[in-house]
A and B are shown apart, each in its own frame.
Chain A
Amino acid sequence: MIEFKNVNKWFGKLHVLNNIDLKIPKGEVLVICGPSGSGKSTLIRCINRLEKIQKGEIIVNKTPVHDKHTNLTKLRAQIGFVFQQFHLYPHMTVLQNVMLAPVNVKKIDKSDAEKIALKKLEKVGLTEKSHAYPAQLSGGQQQRVAIARGLAMSPEIMLFDEPTSALDPEMIGEVLDVMVNLVSEGMTMCVVTHEMGFAKKVADRVLFMDDGKIVETGTPDAFFDNPKTDRAAEFISKILTH
């Protein structure tokens, strides 16, 4: 469903993505981890073209992402993105935040869009907050709304860029629970995270990146308990000591 072919990206002289070859089949839950600066966020941001690549190809559902002629609107309607800093629209209510894309991109009727939005908010457990403003919600609640916003277009793929890194510890659980539920519904997911418990519970595969390269991949159990490379082992021991 998502394919990376010899993908390379540079930020000036910095080689942030180095010959990335990757295949993510439909329904797979992929966790990407690695030290900061390893390129993991950049990797998923290239999937919906928030970042551009200089070399190689990324193909999503048979559509080349970085092609000039690709209909980006259609492409992005299939991909939901959740940011580390949530980036909810502060001047709109929760419900309006979730409804914005369906109404304006898919041109769905307002009342239908509202029904869809409420269903998504129900999925993340926040229907009672639909008329609140983001500033009135806790961090965990805001991130759950962000997930509902990502789900609003009924995408086939959900991308998560360190969704719990900006949250206070006691709120991480509520967000991870929502994500676990999505997995059980068969959603294709790419999650950049350090949450090992989440990875072990639901991930099909773990990717370890360092210096722009994919250093190691494997099933969560195999990776976290028996890393094959030294760098991976070093990284795991560091996040374990927290």
Chain B
Amino acid sequence: MLVDFNFRIIFEYLPLFLTGLKSTFLISVVSIILALITGIIACACRISGIKTIKYPAIAYIEIIRSTPLLVQIYFLYFGLPTLGLRVPEIQTGILALMLNSGAYIAEIIRAGINSVDEGQLEAGTSSGLNYFQKMRFIILPQALGVTIPPLLGQNIVLVKDSALLSLISVMELTRCGQTMTSERFMPSEAFFTVAFFYMCIYFCLKAVADWSQRKLIFREAY
């Protein structure tokens, strides 16, 4: 059982795992940055009063939230070719992650903005500030504190979601586990190693997220 755990094999495959780890890291970083941009734009559309941009934004967010990420990935992976687009898997994967996390980020930001007390807006209006000034000086600085911990949480979710890209042949960390299993037929060594790497990433990201939560809750206590 565990006694036969073959560490030698793991060391043999370590270069492969590190390649996969690097790939996962790159995919995650690129995706989260793109998702942030998408989320900010989607949120801005969502809270705007203009119906022609508000309703498509709502539709986008609700469709993403009501359908599984894997289905969204397959939709793009199998669907884009039918439109004549030959997109490499890794870019398809990043696109799927970007659209998926973007919707959740839009909602996180929206919740953050809504969390700022109404009275703050009223005070700003009474001082004569216009919409953009109120956003810039009153709402966004305060909303930021509430928004950052859940955003870091979404970051963690995205790293785990990236594992699904292994199913469309992207050579990230999970795929390395699959490769090692099919080559050597040692699933224990392969997938426990993969799990171990993910847990390391998780604990690092979680430490940052917890730290941000502590620092920001302190500021909220008045």
Check whether chain A touches chain B (CB < 8 angstroms). Answer: no
